[in-house]
Structure 1
C-alpha cells in the first residue's frame, strides 16, 4: 500500500474536511499497522473524522456516493487505494498521479471489494492546521533585502541576472533531497512521478555505485550552486566579476562529463528518470550557454582569485557536510521515534502490560459519565488539589467527547475529609452535588474550571450549591480503599479494574479506545 496520501487528502477536500496534513502523516506513521487501511481509519478517527471501511461487491458500486476511496488493482503492481469520483457515467481514479478516466466496466474489472467512506459532522470540530505567515514574510523580506543589496552595485544587468541560475539550482537541489529536508509537496510528488518511468526518490536514494555511498549527484549540485551564489556575491563586492565568470566557464565545462554520467546512470543503471535531476542538468547547460553568449570572458586567472573561490567552495562543502549530518541525524531520530510509537501504541503489547497486574475490586462511585450501560469502564482516581490530575482529566475529557456512546467513565475523588478545612470540604461536597443535581456536563465544566483557575473562593461563588454531609460516607469509603490498597498518589487510571501501566504515557490512552471497546476482559 502506498505511503503517499494525496488521494486521501483530495477526498477529504472534496468532502469539505480540513485536517493538518503534516500532523496526519506523523500520526499515521506512528500507528502499529502503518500503512494499512486500519491505520488510515484510526488516524481519521483521531482527527474526529467519522469514517467506515466496508466490503462491497462490484455490483453495488452504483449505490455508493459520487466520491469514495476504493482498493483497485493495477497492472504489474499490488492493489492500491484510489480516490474515485463519479461524473455522469465516467469514473475518475486518483492515486498519486493525475486522475485517470475509466468506464464503469473498467472500474468493475479493477474492483477489489474494499471501500472507505468519510462523513463530516456538523457538531464536531475537525482538527485544523494552524497557518503561520511568518515564514512567508521572512522569505519576502530576504528577497527584498537581496534586491536592495544588488542595487548598490554598478553591475551590468546580465551580471546580476546570473544570480537566478544558482538560486533555482539550490531550490531544485533541495527538492531532490526532499526526504532529507522533510519537505512535502503534492506538486513536487506529481512532477517526480509523472509517469511509471520517473521517480526522483529512486534515483536520488540509489547507491548501486559504491561512490554514491560517499557523495552523490545531489550533494554535488547543492555545493556547486551554493558556491556559485556566494562566489558571485563576493566577487561582485570586490568588483572582479570577469574573473569569476572565467572560473565558472572552466567549472561548467568540467561538469559536462558528470552530466553525461548522471544521464547514463538514470537510463542504464537505475532505469528510472529523475525529472528534478534533468532540470538541474538543464540549468547547468543554460548557465554555460548564457556565459558564452552574454559574457566576454578572457581566461586570465591569478592565484589570488583562485584561492578566494577555492575558499568559498571548500567553506560551502564543509558547511553542507555538517548540515547534512545534522539533517540525517534528525531524520533517523524521527524514524526511531515513529518506531517507538508504533511499539508503544500496539494494542496487543499494551493489553499484555495492562493484564500483568491483578484486577482491582474498585469501590463504587456515584459519578458516572458517558454510557452507563457500557462494559468498557475507565475509572480515574483523582484529587482537585493534585498537580498532575489536570492533564489526566483532559485526556479523559477528550476520550469522553469522542466515545461517549461507547464507554463509561467513573470518577473517584480521593480525600480525607477529617484532615480538610471547611472550604475544601465544601469544594468536594459541591462537586458531587453538582453531578447529582446538574448532571455530567455541568460537572465536567465545573471540574475543568477548577483545574484552570484553582481559586477556591471564586469557584465556590461561581458554582454555588447547597452542600450537606450526605455523601461524606462515600468519600470516606473511597479514601479507606485507597489506603488499604496503597494508592497514595493521584491520578490513577483503571481500565475494567486493571491499573493503567506506569510505563505508558497517559496521553496515549485514546489510541487504545477502539480496540478496548471491541475487546472483552
Structure 2
C-alpha cells in the first residue's frame, strides 16, 4: 500500500509511518492503519457508518476508497482524495467506490514529522575512513575489492530503507527517476516480484547482509582470501537468478540490479585473478 500523498498532506515522517504500519501485528488491517496514525500523533477513531449518514461527517475524514486508506476532503459536492495520488470524485463516485469504514481524526501538536537524527553523515564518515584505511594498508586489488563491497553496502542500504518509505535519490537516479518513468517502474516491478522469503528476509535484505559480511572479512581478515574468493564464486548463482527474473519473468531490466551485478562481477574477476585459496586466520 502506498500512502505518500496522505503522508505528505499531514507532514508525517514517511519512514516511521511505513515502519510502524508494516511491522504492526495486524498489518495491513484498518487497526494497523489507525494505530500507526495514533502513534504518530494523529489521534483517531474508526467507525462502520452507512452512507446515509456520511452527509454528517466533517469536512476531513478518512475512508477506504478503491480499497486504499485515503484522506477525504469535502468541498460542496466534490471530494479530494489523498492516497497514493491525489484525485477528485463527486459524491456518487465516492459512495460507489468506498466501503462503510470511516476514520475520524484530530491532529495534535505532537505529530511526529521529522526524524530526530540523520545517520547519513556518520555513514559517509565511516565509509571514508574504511576507504582510506584500505588504500593505506592493503594491496591495490584488495583495496578495490573492499571499495566495491562498500558500494554494494551503500546501494543495498538504500534499497533496505526504501522498504520503509524513505525515498532514495541514489536509487531513483540509477533507475531513471521522473525523467524516465518506464525505467523507474521497471525497477519497482523487479523489486516487487522478489518471491524470496527466508525468515522474513528478501533478496535485497540478503544483499545488505552479504556485502556487510565480505566488508568485515576483507578489512579484518585480509589473509583469508580463500573465503572472499569462494563467496564471490557463490554470488554467480544470485547473478544468474537476477538475470532470469529480469529477462524471462518480468521481461524488463532493473538498472540498480545491474549495478549490483556489475559490482559482483568485478569482485569475481579480482578474486579469481589476484586472490589465492589460502585461509590464514590469525591465532
What is the Cα deviation at residue 219 of structure 1?
7.9
Contact 1:199 1:272 in 2 (8 A): yes
What is the Cα deviation at residue 171 of structure 1?
4.1
What is the Cα deviation at residue 70 of structure 1?
2.3
Partners of 1:19 and 1:178 in 2: CA distance: 11
- Partner of residue 126, structure 2: 142
- Partner of residue 16, structure 2: 21
Partners of 1:37 and 1:136 in 2: CA distance: 33
- Partner of residue 240, structure 2: 260
- Partner of residue 148, structure 2: 165
RCO (CA 8 Å, sep 6+): is it higher in 1 or 2?
2
- Partner of residue 184, structure 1: 164
Match of 2:110 among 126, 133, 144: 126
**Which structure 2 residues correspond to residues 235-384 of structure 1 after superposition, within 5 A?**
251=232, 255-256=235-236, 258-264=238-244, 279-285=256-262, 288=265, 299=273, 305-308=276-279
Contact 2:65 2:97 in 1 (8 A): yes
In our comparison, the structure showing a higher alpha carbon Rg is 1
Change (3 A) 1:197 1:291: closer
- Partner of residue 198, structure 1: 189
TM-score, reference length from structure 1: 0.35
Contact 1:84 1:94 in 2 (8 A): no
Match of 2:211 among 225, 245, 252: 225
Uncovered stretches (5+) of structure 1, i.e. residues with no partner: 74-78, 208-212, 313-521
Partners of 2:153 and 2:187 in 1: CA distance: 26
Match of 1:115 among 84, 97, 102: 102
What is the Cα deviation at residue 94 of structure 1?
2.1
- Partner of residue 37, structure 1: 30
**Which structure 2 residues correspond to residues 85-104 of structure 1 after superposition, within 5 A?**
91=80, 93-95=82-84, 99=85, 101=87, 104=90
What is the Cα deviation at residue 46 of structure 1?
6.8
Partner of 1:170, secondary structure, is: helix
Partners of 2:194 and 2:69 in 1: CA distance: 25
Uncovered stretches (5+) of structure 2, i.e. residues with no partner: 173-183
- Deviations along 1:433-477, one digit per CA (max 9) or x if unpaired, are xxxxxxxxxxxxxxxxxxxxxxxxxxxxxxxxxxxxxxxxxxxxx
Contact 1:41 1:53 in 2 (8 A): yes
Partner of 2:110, secondary structure, is: coil
Partner of 2:105, secondary structure, is: strand
What is the Cα deviation at residue 71 of structure 1?
0.9
Partner of 2:194, secondary structure, is: helix
What is the Cα deviation at residue 130 of structure 1?
8.8
Partners of 1:160 and 1:110 in 2: CA distance: 58
Partners of 1:260 and 1:141 in 2: CA distance: 34
Change (3 A) 1:90 1:199: farther
Query: Is 1:71 aligned with 2:48?
Result: no
- Partner of residue 176, structure 2: none
Partners of 1:298 and 1:43 in 2: CA distance: 50
Partners of 1:177 and 1:290 in 2: CA distance: 22
Contact 1:56 1:115 in 2 (8 A): no
Partner of 1:29, secondary structure, is: coil
What is the Cα deviation at residue 81 of structure 1?
1.5
What is the Cα deviation at residue 116 of structure 1?
2.5
- Partner of residue 70, structure 2: 82
Partners of 1:234 and 1:48 in 2: CA distance: 45
Contact 1:19 1:127 in 2 (8 A): no
Contact 1:70 1:115 in 2 (8 A): yes
What is the Cα deviation at residue 114 of structure 1?
3.4
Contact 1:69 1:117 in 2 (8 A): yes
TM-score, reference length from structure 2: 0.55
- Deviations along 1:226-269, one digit per CA (max 9) or x if unpaired, are 4653565479x78xxxx99xx69x946x755542334435776x
Partners of 2:260 and 2:19 in 1: CA distance: 36
What is the Cα deviation at residue 14 of structure 1?
2.4
- Partner of residue 427, structure 1: none
Change (3 A) 1:286 1:178: closer
Partner of 2:277, secondary structure, is: helix
Partners of 1:196 and 1:175 in 2: CA distance: 13
Contact 2:134 2:142 in 1 (8 A): no
Change (3 A) 1:267 1:274: closer
